[in-house]
C-alpha cells in the first residue's frame, strides 16, 4: 500500500493514499496495529493504533458532515489520506484520518494508542506536574493521545502520506478485533462503528466483544 520507507525510528512503511481511498469501515479495521507517528521539535512520539471509530457521510448524524459543507468540516470533503484535527468541546484536540474518495465526506477517529516511541516525552506532556501516568494509559482516549503526541490544530490538513504526522505499517498484528457502538457522542449511537484490539489495556471504551458491522 506504500513503497516509501518511514522517516521515523523503526522500519515501517508509510501508508499511501490508496490505503485511505477505500470504504471507511475497512480502513478503520485495518488501521488497528498501524503506528501513528508525530515529529515535533521536542522529539518523536509514536503509538500503535488499538481503537478507532468510523464517521461516514452526511447521512450519519454523528459525522461533522451531517449539516453539509462548512469551513470547519472542509477536510472531510477533500482527498483521502489527510489529517482532520479539531477541538472537541473546547477542551481536547481529536485527530482523524480522512477516508474515501474526494467529495465523499468520511473519516476514522483515532481513539487510542499503545505507546511505542517517545514514552518519556509522552509522560511529560500528559503530566507536566510529575504525577504518574501508567504507560498503557498515556494514549487511552482520543484527547489523551493527541496531548501525548503533541497534536493540535496546527496539524489539521497535514498530508498523512508525506508530512511530520503520518501512519506507518511496522508489521504489528492485531489478531482479534471487536466491534461495538461509538462512544462520546449523543446521536448515531446505534451504529456499531467502533473497533478495537480485543482485550488491549490501552482501549478507552467498553470492551464487550461484538461481531463486525
Query: Which of 76-80, 81-85, 173-177 shows the lowest mean pLDDT across its residues?
Result: 173-177
CA torsion, points 152, 158, 164, 170, in degrees to nearest 10?
100
Task: Give the pLDDT confidence score for residue 212 in this predicted structure.
Answer: 67
Cell of residue 152, nine digits: 493540535
Q: Tell me whether residue 163 is exposed, middle or buried, using C-beta atoms within 10 angstroms of its C-beta: 0 to 12, 13 to 18, 19 or more.
A: middle
For range 138-146, the mean pLDDT? 98
Task: Give the pLDDT confidence score for residue 205 in this predicted structure.
Answer: 79
The percentage of residues in the chain with a pLDDT greater than 90, rounded to a whole number, is 84
**Predicted confidence band of residue 211 (pLDDT cuts 50, 70, 90):** low
Phi first, then psi: what are they for 75, rounded to 5°?
A: -60, -30
**Predicted confidence band of residue 130 (pLDDT cuts 50, 70, 90):** confident
**Predicted confidence band of residue 1 (pLDDT cuts 50, 70, 90):** very low
Tell whether the torsion through CA atoms of 15, 38, 143 and 101 is positive or negative: negative
- Collapsing DSSP to helix, strand or coil, 197 comes out as strand
**Predicted confidence band of residue 89 (pLDDT cuts 50, 70, 90):** confident
- CA 207 → CA 24, 90, 117, 120, 187, distances in Å? 21, 27, 25, 28, 20
d(CA 66, CA 62): 7
Cell of residue 174, nine digits: 492485531
Q: How many CA atoms lie within 13 A of 121 on its CB side?
A: 20
Amino acid at each position: 500500500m506504500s513503497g516509501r520507507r518511514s522517516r521515523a525510528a523503526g522500519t515501517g512503511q508509510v501508508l499511501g493514499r490508496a490505503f485511505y481511498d477505500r470504504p471507511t469501515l475497512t480502513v478503520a479495521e485495518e488501521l488497528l496495529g498501524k503506528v501513528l507517528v508525530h515529529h515535533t521539535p521536542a522529539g518523536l512520539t509514536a503509538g500503535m493504533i488499538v481503537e478507532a471509530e468510523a464517521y461516514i457521510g452526511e447521512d450519519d448524524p454523528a459525522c461533522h458532515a451531517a449539516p453539509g459543507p462548512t469551513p470547519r468540516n472542509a477536510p472531510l470533503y477533500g482527498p483521502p489520506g489527510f489529517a482532520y484535527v479539531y477541538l472537541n468541546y473546547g477542551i481536547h484536540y481529536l485527530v482523524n484520518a480522512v477516508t474515501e474518495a474526494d467529495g465523499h465526506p468520511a473519516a476514522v477517529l483515532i481513539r487510542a494508542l499503545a505507546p511505542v516511541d517517545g514514552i518519556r516525552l509522552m509522560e511529560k506532556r500528559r503530566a507536566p506536574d510529575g504525577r504518574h501516568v501508567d504507560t498503557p494509559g498515556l494514549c487511552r482516549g482520543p484527547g489523551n493521545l493527541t496531548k501525548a503526541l503533541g497534536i493540535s490544530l496546527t496539524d489539521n490538513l497535514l498530508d498523512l502520506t508525506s508530512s511530520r504526522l503520518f501512519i506507518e505499517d511496522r508489521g504489528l498484528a492485531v489478531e482479534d478485533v471487536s466491534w461495538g457502538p461509538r462512544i462520546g457522542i449523543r446521536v448515531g449511537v446505534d451504529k456499531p462503528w467502533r473497533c478495537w484490539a480485543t482485550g488491549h489495556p490501552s482501549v478507552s471504551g467498553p470492551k464487550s466483544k461484538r461481531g463486525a458491522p
